[in-house]
Amino acid sequence: MSSSQLDARSLQLRRTIIEMYATANRGHIGSAFSLVEILRVLYDDILRYDPANPKWPDRDRFILSKGHGCLALYAVLADKGFFPKTELRLFCRKGGILGGHPEYGRIPGVEASTGSLGHGLPIGIGFAIHAQRARAAHRVFVVVSDGEANEGSTWEALLAARKHRLSNLTVLVDYDKMQSYGATTEVLDLEPFSDKWRAFGFAVEEVDGHDVPALREVLSRVPLQPDKPSAIVCHTIKGRGVSFVEHNPHWHHKGPPTEAELRGLFAELGA
């Protein structure tokens, strides 16, 4: 799969990510690139929100539990008008609001401070329980990473979601099968992954996490079952869109890039 198979919107969001990365000389590029299509479909087609009123009570709640992939979230939030695009130039720089992980209360549109893995899903379940008891119509969506599924707090949270029959909760797993220093099969094998979610009481579907129409279709059907929380296992590629970044753990978090690396990144993304 090459960058030429990505549509114009996916390429532009990736270019925005690289511009932020080049400004800060740091960032989780591979982890952001695997998320782009998941986030663009959520914000283009699924979530209810108002950028002019980020605290609108009826908004859907979204948590990027995989907080280290925040470059993708920032690109989408700026694109939707939650904050000026000029803020993107200040990523991880003095005077800016955008740090290396999402920060609640500082960044409009961010519902929870995340990045310490295993925390975002429990927070989202708290949101969903509150909405259920308040008989509120809004929904809760949480994106977790496959490496994050190594955390015991993730599976404890799934038990709570099943207990409370949180049909207003949808969990999307960015299943790129790579962690910070190697493949998930080497670090801690998760298979049979989808069956584990089913065993914990979730309705589960699998999808190509870079296939925009397929993501739209499955997300338009949540809850997948009326009395269960939903889990969508998104099969993705870490670093999707740039050949020398794909499947490469060295780009999980990359320090200052060389000029050649930056030229290569922009060239493969059509800039």
SS3 143: strand
The beta strands (E) that lie in 153-270 are given as: 169-175, 203-208, 230-235
CATH of the domain at 143: 3.40.50.970
- Expressed in angstroms, the distance from the first to the final Cα of the chain is 19
- Confidence (pTM): 0.96
Lowest mean pLDDT among 63-67, 157-161, 177-181: 177-181
Q: In what order do the strands lie in the sheet containing 230-235? A: 61-64, 140-145, 169-175, 230-235, 203-208
Average pLDDT on 162-174 reads 98
- Judged against a pLDDT cut of 70, whether residue 145 lies above it is answered with yes
Q: Specify the number of domains making up the chain.
A: 1
SS3 190: coil
pLDDT tens, residue by residue, 36-77: 999 999 999 999 999 999 999 999 999 999 999 999 999 999
Confidence at residue 2, expressed as pLDDT on a 0 to 100 scale: 46
Percentage of residues of the chain with pLDDT beyond 70: 99
Average pLDDT, the chain: 95
Confidence at residue 271, expressed as pLDDT on a 0 to 100 scale: 75
Confidence at residue 149, expressed as pLDDT on a 0 to 100 scale: 93
| Contact call for residues 73 and 108 (beta carbons, < 8 A) | no
Residue 160 is part of which domain span?
3-268
